[in-house]
Amino acid sequence: MSSCPCGSGSSYTDCCLPIIKNLRPAETAEALMRARYAAYATTEMDFVFESTHPDHRQNYDHDGTRAWAESSEWLGLQIVATDKGGPTDDVGQVEFIARFREQGGAARAHHENSRFLRQDGRWYFADGVMVKNQPIIVSKVGRNDPCTCGSGLKYKKCCGK
């Protein structure tokens, strides 16, 4: 049993594969988000295109998206928050962080707040907005605390020198 790339803890065949193969619809916006991540990880680009709302498909680059997905290593999905997007809703938002490594590159995190619409009983991805990193706010900086400049170093090794 192979674990689903979406991080649900279920097997791929029980979790996202039936949604990707159109054997059952995604019941929630979050389920569609998870299936879309799994589709990138397994290079099911037809599903990525078909699960995009028809009004938002105009600039989709099928070949470029496939090449990027195939050359990337998919490291995990974290669902940060959801707003609506349930079985009885027609709109929903899912904030997520998708972790991946592009070929020969460093690990990256794509943090997005995505909007989903349900039309004719099916959920579709509509659009998304990147979530900006928030600055670290500390009232008193200790020598071993992370530096407030955001470098990732300890304060004593960075601005506290």
Residue 61: inside a domain, yes or no?
Answer: yes
Tell me, yes or no, whether 138 and 123 share the same domain: no
Q: What pLDDT does 112 receive?
A: 96
Residue 142: inside a domain, yes or no?
Answer: yes
Check whether 6 has a pLDDT greater than 80: yes
CA dist 98 → 107, 113, 157, 160 (Å): 11, 11, 30, 33
- For the stretch 59-100, pLDDT in tens is 899 999 999 999 999 999 999 999 999 999 999 999 999 999
Residue 4: inside a domain, yes or no?
Answer: no
What is the value of pTM for the model shown?
0.81
CATH number reported for the structural domain that contains residue 57 in this entry: 3.10.450.50
> Can you state the percent helix, strand and coil of the chain, rounding each to 5?
25, 30, 45
Structural domain that includes position 154: 134-161
Residue 70: inside a domain, yes or no?
Answer: yes
Q: What pLDDT does 141 receive?
A: 76
Check whether 160 has a pLDDT greater than 90: no
Residue 138: inside a domain, yes or no?
Answer: yes
Q: Which helix (H) or strand (E) holds 62?
A: helix 62-71
- For the stretch 48-58, pLDDT in tens is 999 999 999 99
Residue 149: inside a domain, yes or no?
Answer: yes
Q: What pLDDT does 114 receive?
A: 97
- For the stretch 90-144, pLDDT in tens is 999 999 999 999 988 889 999 999 999 999 999 999 999 999 876 666 567 777 8
Say how many residues make up the chain.
Answer: 161
